[in-house]
Protein backbone atom coordinates (compact mmCIF):
# COMPACT_ATOMS: atom_id res chain seq x y z
CA UNK A 1 0.00 0.00 0.00
CA UNK A 2 1.33 3.41 -0.92
CA UNK A 3 0.36 7.01 -0.28
CA UNK A 4 1.15 8.28 -3.78
CA UNK A 5 -1.24 10.99 -4.94
CA UNK A 6 -1.86 13.36 -7.81
CA UNK A 7 -3.54 16.71 -8.23
CA UNK A 8 -4.63 18.50 -11.38
CA UNK A 9 -6.60 21.69 -11.92
CA UNK A 10 -8.52 22.89 -14.96
CA UNK A 11 -10.44 26.07 -15.71
CA UNK A 12 -13.82 25.25 -17.28
CA UNK A 13 -15.95 28.04 -18.81
CA UNK A 14 -19.22 26.93 -17.21
CA UNK A 15 -20.77 27.61 -13.78
CA UNK A 16 -19.91 25.23 -10.91
CA UNK A 17 -23.46 23.81 -10.71
CA UNK A 18 -23.33 22.69 -14.35
CA UNK A 19 -19.82 21.23 -14.05
CA UNK A 20 -20.68 19.48 -10.77
CA UNK A 21 -23.87 17.91 -12.15
CA UNK A 22 -22.04 16.29 -15.08
CA UNK A 23 -20.16 14.04 -12.62
CA UNK A 24 -23.44 12.53 -11.36
CA UNK A 25 -25.22 12.15 -14.72
CA UNK A 26 -24.64 8.74 -16.40
CA UNK A 27 -25.30 10.15 -19.89
CA UNK A 28 -22.66 12.83 -19.35
CA UNK A 29 -20.21 10.38 -17.74
CA UNK A 30 -20.38 8.33 -20.94
CA UNK A 31 -19.35 11.43 -22.92
CA UNK A 32 -16.29 12.50 -20.93
CA UNK A 33 -14.84 9.57 -18.97
CA UNK A 34 -12.41 8.99 -21.82
CA UNK A 35 -8.84 8.74 -20.50
CA UNK A 36 -7.23 7.80 -23.80
CA UNK A 37 -7.52 8.00 -27.57
CA UNK A 38 -10.10 5.75 -29.17
CA UNK A 39 -11.76 4.91 -25.84
CA UNK A 40 -15.53 4.71 -25.40
CA UNK A 41 -17.91 4.28 -22.46
CA UNK A 42 -20.54 1.69 -23.42
CA UNK A 43 -21.99 1.62 -19.90
CA UNK A 44 -22.35 4.19 -17.08
CA UNK A 45 -24.57 4.05 -13.98
CA UNK A 46 -24.83 6.46 -11.04
CA UNK A 47 -26.85 6.29 -7.81
CA UNK A 48 -26.13 9.92 -6.94
CA UNK A 49 -26.41 9.97 -3.15
CA UNK A 50 -23.95 9.61 -0.30
CA UNK A 51 -23.45 5.87 0.04
CA UNK A 52 -24.68 5.36 -3.53
CA UNK A 53 -22.46 3.71 -6.09
CA UNK A 54 -21.40 4.36 -9.65
CA UNK A 55 -20.06 2.08 -12.35
CA UNK A 56 -18.36 3.11 -15.57
CA UNK A 57 -17.14 0.64 -18.19
CA UNK A 58 -14.34 2.21 -20.22
CA UNK A 59 -13.59 0.33 -23.44
CA UNK A 60 -10.04 0.60 -24.78
CA UNK A 61 -9.24 -0.41 -28.36
CA UNK A 62 -6.52 -2.89 -27.35
CA UNK A 63 -7.28 -3.66 -23.68
CA UNK A 64 -11.04 -4.27 -23.94
CA UNK A 65 -13.44 -3.39 -21.14
CA UNK A 66 -12.04 -1.71 -18.02
CA UNK A 67 -14.58 -1.50 -15.19
CA UNK A 68 -14.35 1.48 -12.83
CA UNK A 69 -16.63 1.80 -9.84
CA UNK A 70 -16.91 3.38 -6.45
CA UNK A 71 -19.05 4.84 -3.72
CA UNK A 72 -20.01 8.48 -3.23
CA UNK A 73 -18.59 9.70 0.09
CA UNK A 74 -19.35 13.46 -0.13
CA UNK A 75 -21.91 15.20 -2.35
CA UNK A 76 -21.86 18.92 -1.51
CA UNK A 77 -23.35 20.57 -4.59
CA UNK A 78 -21.77 22.61 -6.17
CA UNK A 79 -18.64 22.72 -4.00
CA UNK A 80 -17.21 19.23 -3.48
CA UNK A 81 -17.64 15.68 -4.68
CA UNK A 82 -15.69 12.76 -3.21
CA UNK A 83 -15.84 9.09 -4.17
CA UNK A 84 -13.85 5.90 -3.91
CA UNK A 85 -12.19 4.75 -7.14
CA UNK A 86 -11.82 1.05 -7.86
CA UNK A 87 -10.37 -0.11 -11.16
CA UNK A 88 -7.96 -2.75 -12.46
CA UNK A 89 -5.16 -0.18 -11.91
CA UNK A 90 -6.00 1.24 -8.47
CA UNK A 91 -6.03 0.22 -4.82
CA UNK A 92 -9.25 -0.65 -3.00
CA UNK A 93 -8.95 2.46 -0.79
CA UNK A 94 -8.20 4.89 -3.63
CA UNK A 95 -10.22 8.13 -3.33
CA UNK A 96 -10.94 11.03 -5.69
CA UNK A 97 -11.94 14.49 -4.41
CA UNK A 98 -13.24 17.18 -6.76
CA UNK A 99 -13.42 20.81 -5.63
CA UNK A 100 -15.42 23.29 -7.73
CA UNK A 101 -14.49 26.96 -7.23
CA UNK A 102 -16.45 29.70 -9.01
CA UNK A 103 -14.40 32.13 -11.09
CA UNK A 104 -15.30 35.07 -13.33
CA UNK A 105 -14.81 32.79 -16.34
CA UNK A 106 -16.71 29.79 -14.90
CA UNK A 107 -15.21 27.12 -12.64
CA UNK A 108 -11.81 26.09 -11.41
CA UNK A 109 -12.00 22.31 -11.02
CA UNK A 110 -9.38 20.74 -8.75
CA UNK A 111 -9.06 16.95 -8.82
CA UNK A 112 -7.10 15.23 -6.04
CA UNK A 113 -6.66 11.44 -6.30
CA UNK A 114 -4.95 9.56 -3.46
CA UNK A 115 -3.50 6.08 -2.99
CA UNK A 116 -2.03 4.20 -5.93
CA UNK A 117 -0.35 0.78 -5.98
CA UNK A 118 2.72 2.11 -7.83
CA UNK A 119 4.38 5.18 -9.33
CA UNK A 120 3.48 3.84 -12.80
CA UNK A 121 -0.21 3.61 -11.86
CA UNK A 122 -0.11 7.17 -10.48
CA UNK A 123 1.55 8.49 -13.64
CA UNK A 124 -0.93 6.69 -15.91
CA UNK A 125 -3.86 8.09 -13.90
CA UNK A 126 -2.39 11.59 -14.13
CA UNK A 127 -2.50 11.41 -17.94
CA UNK A 128 -5.93 9.79 -17.86
CA UNK A 129 -7.45 12.43 -15.59
CA UNK A 130 -5.98 15.24 -17.75
CA UNK A 131 -7.65 13.68 -20.82
CA UNK A 132 -10.93 13.23 -18.91
CA UNK A 133 -10.99 16.88 -17.79
CA UNK A 134 -10.32 18.02 -21.35
CA UNK A 135 -13.16 15.77 -22.60
CA UNK A 136 -15.41 17.15 -19.84
CA UNK A 137 -14.92 20.68 -21.11
CA UNK A 138 -15.68 19.53 -24.68
CA UNK A 139 -18.78 17.59 -23.54
CA UNK A 140 -20.24 20.68 -21.87
Q: What CATH code is carried by the domain that includes residue 98?
A: 3.30.530.20
| pLDDT tens for each residue of the chain, 140 residues long | 457 999 999 999 999 999 999 999 999 999 999 999 999 999 999 999 999 999 999 999 888 999 999 999 999 999 999 999 999 888 888 999 999 999 999 999 999 999 999 999 999 999 999 999 999 999 99
Q: What is the pTM of this model?
A: 0.95
> How far apart, in whole angstroms, are the C-alpha atoms of residue 84 and residue 96?
6
Q: Which domain holds residue 67?
A: 5-139
3-state DSSP assignment of residue 73: strand
Asked if 11 contacts 105 with a C-beta cutoff of 8 angstroms, the reply is: yes
Asked if 32 contacts 129 with a C-beta cutoff of 8 angstroms, the reply is: no
Domain count, the chain: 1
For residue 13, the 8-state DSSP code is S
Amino acid sequence: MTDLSLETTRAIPHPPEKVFDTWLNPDMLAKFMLPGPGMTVPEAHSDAKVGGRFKIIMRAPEAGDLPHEGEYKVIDRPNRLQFTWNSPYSQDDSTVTLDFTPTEAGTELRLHHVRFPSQESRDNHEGGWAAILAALETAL
